Amino acid sequence: MNIPVLAENLTKTYADGPVPVTAVSDVHLKLNEGEVVGLFGPSGSGKTTLLSLLGCILRPTGGSLRLFGTDVAGLDESRLPDIRKKYVSFIFQGFNLFPALSAYENVHLLLTLKGIKREPAHRKTLDMLANVRLSHRAAFLPRDLSGGEKQRVAIARALAADTPLILADEPTGNLDHANGRIVMELLKRLATEKGRCVVVATHDTRVEDLLDRILHMEDGRIIREET
């Protein structure tokens, strides 16, 4: 069977600053369907850069990357937005919700942008909000939601996008332990029930038990793997 995500010698050197910085260096990585992989490492070790490479936000400066059978490292820059739309959802520490839109509208907008008609998008939005137990907050603006609730809206949006790869960059960084756990449990459920690949960069050792594998990064390299 094809490996959903396969990176070999994946490397990213930022060359725009006063000195070049190799933020990701010769990374080998396989992701299987249905697993949640944790990315641990000190600040500056390359976690965000690696997620950005996997999510086709950044292009590698070396190595190869195959996403669901497509060699994306070799693709023209102009093709990347389509690849992202088809395969990748992001969840960020800062939630990235539209502040002027309600929880409902934040999810609904994404579905209509994907070309789904109003009525099916409406039903799917309600369904996704129910999935993250936020039906009672559908009409709330982000500023009236707690951190945990905001992150659950972001997860509902990722759920709605229906992509096979979900990348989360310190998703529990702004949450207390109880809410961090709820968020991680939702990501775990997405992986096991829907067969998604989930990669979570985190400092949060309290959710280790919800991870199938842990990759430790240091200076842009994966120095150790735990299963």
Residue 203 token pair: 């400092």
CB 165 within 8 A of CB 55: yes
Segment interacting with ligand ADP (CB under 6 A) among 16-24, 63-71, 110-118, 134-142: 16-24
Distance of CA 33 to the CA centre of its chain: 14
CB of 62 vs Mg ion, minimal distance in Å: 21
Residues that bind ligand ADP (rule: CB under 6 A) add up to a total of 13
Q: Which does 166 bind (CB under 5 to 8 A by kind): Mg ion, ligand ADP, none?
A: none
Cα–Cα distances in angstroms (integers) from residue 58 to residues 23, 75, 82, in the given order: 12, 12, 14
Does the footprint of ligand ADP cover residue 43 (CB under 6 A)?
yes
Does the footprint of ligand ADP cover residue 11 (CB under 6 A)?
no
Cα–Cα distances in angstroms (integers) from residue 110 to residues 9, 121, 149, 172, in the given order: 34, 9, 18, 22
Task: Considering only residues 21 through 40, tell me which ones interact with ligand ADP, judged by CB under 6 A.
Answer: 21, 23
CB 145 within 8 A of CB 105: no
Q: What is the contact surface with Mg ion in residues (CB under 5 A)?
A: 47-48
Q: Which residue is nearest to Mg ion (CB)?
A: 48
The 46-85 site mask, x for binding ligand ADP (CB under 6 A), equals xxxx------------------------------------
Residue 188 token pair: 């775990």
Using CB atoms within 10 A of its CB, is residue 85 exposed (0-12), middle (13-18) or buried (19+)? middle
Report how far residue 39's alpha carbon sits from residue 20's, in angstroms, rounded to the nearest whole number. Answer: 24
Does the footprint of ligand ADP cover residue 45 (CB under 6 A)?
yes
Segment interacting with ligand ADP (CB under 6 A) among 12-20, 81-89, 95-103, 151-159: 12-20
Binding site for ligand ADP (CB under 6 A): 14, 16-17, 21, 23, 41, 43-49
